[in-house]
Amino acid sequence: MKTLHQSRFEHFGINVMDIKKMEKFYCTMFGFVASDRGKRFNGTNIVFLTKSANDHHQLVLIDGRPPEAEYSTINQISFGLTDLDELRNAYETLIKMGIDPVDIIQIDHGNAWSFYTKDPEGNPLELFCDSPWHTPQPCRGDLDISKSSEVIMKQTEKLCRSRPGFSTREEWSLKMEKTMARAVEA
């Protein structure tokens, strides 16, 4: 079966219990701006959020998640950051927003540094930035964002080099380009 090679991921939507609370969280934490809002055909509220003047929406919040929902079916919503300084800033922002540090899991994946926490309705969030190395996944090392970037970089490079399949991110990307080109040809 032929895949849609020209397709690209554009946006996602989640059903929420409290649309105003969720809009405030995503706008405050991640810098989204409401591009549109209104009522859907069935009368539920909908808010379109974006971080790009070229994209009408990247995140859609829709009323309709029942308050008695036992858990979110979302595995994680991930937000990429540029570097360790931005990741550190995000950590501090989460704390200022009232999230208990105990509820922020810090992980060194070797190829990325990540925080895991939850939004106000319990949907799992990942905030991460890429490292300059690659190691096969899954990989779970210790991360302490209070350490200097230099210390974290040395720790991560040591972790990655200790595992089979180590490469730089650039080497890994070149390998993936070849793998993807072969897949398109097939």
- In the block, tokens 């549109």 appear at 36
3-state secondary structure at position 108: strand
- In the block, tokens 């890429």 appear at 130
- Phi, psi (5° rounding) for residue 105? -90, 125
Same domain, 26 and 85: no
The verdict on residue 130 lying in a domain is yes
How many domains, the chain? 2
Q: In which order are the strands placed within the sheet that holds 105-108?
A: 77-80, 124-130, 112-118, 105-108, 141-142
The verdict on residue 2 lying in a domain is no
CATH number at residue 129: 3.10.180
Same domain, 28 and 115: no
Per-block mean pLDDT, blocks of 10 residues, the chain (186 long): 60 94 95 95 94 93 91 90 95 94 97 96 95 97 97 98 96 92 74
What is the predicted pLDDT for the residue at 20? 97
The verdict on residue 1 lying in a domain is no
CATH number at residue 17: 3.10.180.10
For 176, 182, 183, the CA distances from 179, given in Å and listed in that order, are: 5, 5, 6
Structural domain boundaries enclosing 23: 9-65
Helices (H) and strands (E) in the chain, counts: 4, 11
C-alpha span between 5 and 163 (Å, rounded)? 32
Q: Which two tokens stand for residue 37?
A: 């809002």
Same domain, 88 and 61: no
Same domain, 57 and 83: no
The verdict on residue 115 lying in a domain is yes
Same domain, 169 and 112: yes
Same domain, 177 and 99: yes
Same domain, 21 and 98: no
DSSP assignment string, 115-179 = EEEE-TT--EEEEEEE-SEE--S---EE--TTS-HHHHHHHHHHHHHTSTT-EEHHHHHHHHHHH
What is the predicted pLDDT for the residue at 1? 43
pTM: 0.86
Domain end point (choices 24, 46, 65): 65
